Structure 1
């Protein structure tokens, strides 16, 4: 394990999980649908959602794919990471790059004006002031983008409660959506990546009393270019709720160490590199410098954000019984990834 991480950071998690980080073939699959662009609500069900509906009581004959989603699991509850967790820090990085360019540009123009004492002729001062205004606008835009992740929440957990048959979703604004598992309309969705690639995901739709109007939407953690991977992750979640932890225990080899604490730099770096674990060697090596910068931005996001906490009743339900044989948490990880 240590040797694997030493030479191919990120492949330790992926290889030990049977290559279960779906479509970890490079960063082009980054997809922040639902975060940068909200899911469409207050609308009727689409034909696509009807065609790709996922039924709670229909067993799919597919391999199970945990997708490194589990934070904790026991006989009563499973806590999953959110749809954007795998690439946490990327949006903040883009925004901070914009801020850095803005600060550098303003500093350069201020130096020309104040230190080099550019003459007030041929419109030079006007051009400098216009440039400062343009860079200031870039800085404001960059800060707005970075704020999508900075000073928010370390992640947005989803709790599956087998005992009460409830799903609890930590919303972006810190409130909690609770809905009965058996009444949620589950379906596949399509997100859009940065280069126009349409990615499959798994969405839960909260319908109005008429049974056709979508009031609210949430999504589980997977975004993938292969519909088979989406089905495999859905089946992992479905079997946990319908059949119990014994049916999925073999698929959970690691837990994300996020319980009541922010993610460490080492864990964030490992998770970022895991996204490229299936990439060709040249692409993997090319991404190493960017991934380390990404890891720094991710660490900053984690350090500036609050740890999500559910209401007391939900938090109490998450605690396992003393004799529960199916308790999974980060203590099962390698020592440096706990």
Structure 2
């Protein structure tokens, strides 16, 4: 699959997730098998561009090509300026957010709320495409609610306005992340468009990825929540799509190494205090499928320093590997 000049290989993409797909996580997921990793969304409000949070989101130094940055907003002129600003700061692909279901985003008439105004969608997309010389992509949902599943119409507007690839989450906005994603709408969109279409929603295993691609005819899959605490799932999916075979799951030793690498990257990127705090949610995700999860989080979340957080995590995995874990002791 191509996005402008970039060949996306493998055809497994890390979804943009606010508070998750920061630079340390993108780098990790790319190393473990993602063909593309989209940044967490950056606001089109220029008053926010120089905050500490926004500056960290715009840090792409050392990040492998292609660098895809998602922008969010509601005004075509502001969105065009945000696209230019991010390209000047390293973005090689601009992704427009019309899929976020969060209330605070939709209440500002951004994210998936934009799907309620097809004329505005056209103006935003046209303005952003005209503003930059890099490829522009778009992420949408199937509609605002079950009575307004207008994604096929939005998709046609997007293609006609110059969008070069489209990602579709198989839920309406009012579903949030509840229930099962439906793929018939995504299949209809793919059949109607000439540009690449990326299927998103509930893709959490190699088998599910293959089934979704076969059902929808899409060009790639996008993985979101399934990568939280399991970044290696991207490589497992990529390997299966390429070979039809399955990789063995990572050993406890491998999971421990990946997690410790991730924690160290967070500490280095954000600084010790913020890095330790941000790492806590990732620690919970890595441990969520283990019976010791609650007890582990209770212990490791007490860590106030990077050294203590690393030591507790290393001790936890050493005990798991040795079969000697008694986290409550």
Q: Same fold (TM over 0.5)?
A: no
Greater share of residues in helix: 2
Per the normalisation by structure 2, the TM-score is 0.23
Larger radius of gyration: 1
- By relative contact order (CA 8 Å, sep 6+), the higher-ranking structure is 1
